[in-house]
A and B are shown apart, each in its own frame.
Chain A
Amino acid sequence: MVTRTSLTTPLGDEVLSLHAGDQVLLSGIVYTARDEAHLMMKESGIPFDPVGAAIYHCGPVIKDARILAAGPTTSARLNALTGFLLDRGVRALIGKGGMGAEVARALIGRGVYLSCTGGCAVLAASKMSLKGVYFEELGMAEAIWIIELDSLPLVVGIDSHGNDLFADIALGANKQFHRTFT
């Protein structure tokens, strides 16, 4: 039986006790943000309280103020745009595919990267309710949607101790590749 740690936002030091590979059920408010929203926040400020916040790399399908589909987008696109959020107190990044070494370093002693199963958009939406929106002018995919989660299942991909599950797997893949093709 797999044990899952339940967490609720805003997050605090409890994220520091998580380890890469742990399974988590996350509840509470999260904020979606993709490329354009990150740029906008960097230029004109973060429209929510970033302390203890969780950022969800996601551009949902919304119809009549309801979330129909809301799986994660590829987090690595935001590698260079994430540091300022962690500096302001953001504790969790949620997305798919992992993030770069600079983000893994920036998470040490501060927060975690949580992996959400890519493409599982209706499964994710079934655990969500829409609470509001910032930067709606950026369009459906790029706006910051305020979403309340009810026990969304996630995996700790990068912990606050410098462990990165994705980097470990990539290292193994790289070794195997060079064994086969050199």
Chain B
Amino acid sequence: MVLPEDDPLFRALSAATCRAFREAVTTLPQDVVEALRSAAMREPSALAKNELKNILDNIAIAEQRALPLCQDTGVPVVYLTVPSHVPFTDTLICAVGEGVRRATREIPLRPNVVSPLKRENSGDNTGPGMPIVHVRPGSCLSVTVLPKGAGAENMSRLAMLLPTEREKIPRFVAETMLIAGGRPCPPVILGVGIGGTFDGCAALAKEALLLPIDTMDPFEQELCDAVNALGIGPMGLGGKTTALAVKVRMAACHTASLPVAVNVQCWAARHCTVEVTW
């Protein structure tokens, strides 16, 4: 495929995508760092405190040296907002792919993307259906990246509950972490999708991970408290902080359905938005 490299829009969006990945994998959002700091102060156990100290030290070194803070630089999940004066064409999707390839070479990112059955690695973090690109209308052209590591992603779950089973939602959320234990690198952030369809609910759960975590509504707090009561703690070694936050996004759904999805995010909750100018 010939890339439209002379197109200023293509160049600007691919550069912005690369920049967003660099920022995302080297520097955590401030609300996440603050949540980790306050968790470190709350933890009574020496082992839990020590795990959180390692995490905070690691964040500081990564930022200082501009290196990926975790070796699992994830798979590329990308959200675009497109204003009315920018034509939504294949150029935008190609530009995001090119940004991912550049980020993989230059930062570098670990090449994680493989064919699902043959497990052949493309070497550049792209492939059929990768990067995953979600497009929404917006007032400006912006690119949001959410590099998603596998340790936490692998622990995510979805249930098609009965419409009469609303009270089972906290149970399903807590059960997800009970099954996960220390595997998804707790303290985690849980993105919960409620409603929509089977596929839409999972997308809501992932988008919930883009919400700021410095506030929770009473329902989110109830879910978070149920998870933290499990005592799994940082890295599964025990402690008060299993989840830093639970964030919920909802959509309308069929009268006969109640889809619930939990997308597990490790403490390295990396995401970054860059506005594209050209």
Interface residues of A (CB under 8 A from B): 2, 21, 23, 36, 58-61, 63, 68-71, 73-74, 76, 96-98, 115, 117-123, 125-126, 139-141, 153, 155, 157, 165-166, 168-170, 172-174, 176-177, 180-181
- Do B232 and A36 touch (CB < 8 A)? no
Give which listed residue, B171, B183, B232, B266, contacts A169 with CB less than 8 A: B232
Q: Which residues of A contact B158 (CB under 8 A)?
A: none
Interface size on B, residues (CB 8 A): 54
The reply on B50 being an interface residue by CB < 8 A is yes
Closest residue of chain A to B26 (Cβ to Cβ) is A122
Complex CA–CA separation, A135 to B177 (angstroms): 35
Point out the residue from A117, A141, A172, A176 that lies within 8 Å of B110, measured CB to CB: A141
Bound: A120/B58 CA distance, A: 5
**A98-B181, A165-B237 known; A61-B58 Cβ under 8 A:** no
A123 touches B57 (CB 8 A): yes
Residue of B47, B55, B175, B229 touching A120 (CB-CB under 8 A): B55
A181 and B154 in contact (CB under 8 A), knowing A97-B235, A139-B111? Answer: no
Question: Are B108 and A63 within 8 A (Cβ)?
Answer: yes
Known: A123-B58, A173-B230. A98 touches B67 (CB 8 A): no
Q: Which residue of A lies closest to B46 (CB)?
A: A2
Name the CB-closest residue of B to A174: B178
Find out whether the CB atom of A68 lies under 8 angstroms from the CB atom of B178: no
Is A69 within 8 A of B55, CB to CB? no
CB contacts (< 8 Å) of A174 on chain B: these are 178
User: In the complex, what's the smallest C-beta–C-beta distance from A170 to chain B, in angstroms?
Assistant: 5
Q: Which of A120, A170, A177 contacts B174 (CB 8 A)?
A: A177
B54 adjacent to A153 (CB under 8 Å): yes
CB pair A98–B182 under 8 Å, yes or no, is yes
Max chain A Cβ within 10 angstroms of own Cβ: one of B65, B110, B121: B110
Number of contacts between A and B (CB, 8 Å)? 163
Residues of A near B58 (CB, < 8 A) are 117, 119-123
Q: Does B233 contact A (CB under 8 A)?
A: yes
Cβ contact of A76, chosen from B183, B230, B266, cutoff 8 A: B183
The yes or no answer to B255 lying at the interface (CB within 8 A) is: no
> With a CB–CB cut-off of 8 A, which chain B residues contact A60?
71, 110
* Min C-beta distance of A78 to chain B, whole Å: 12
Given A117-B55, A118-B151, A121-B71, A61–B110 Cβ distance below 8 Å? yes
Chain A residues, Cβ within 8 Å of B182: 96-98, 115, 118, 166, 169
Q: Are B62 and A122 neighbours in the complex by a CB distance under 8 Å?
A: yes
> Counting CB contacts under 8 A, is B73 at the interface?
yes
Question: How far, in whole Å, are A165 and B226 apart by their CA atoms in the complex?
Answer: 22
Given contacts A118-B266, A119-B268, A120-B55, contact A166 B46 (CB under 8 A): no
Chain B residue numbers with a CB within 8 Å of A168 are 238
By a CB distance below 8 angstroms, the chain A residues around B226 are 180
B61 touches A123 (CB 8 A): yes
Do B178 and A122 touch (CB < 8 A)? no
Other-chain residue from A115, A118, A122 in contact with B61 (beta carbon distance below 8 A) = A122
B232 near A139: Cβ-Cβ < 8 Å = no
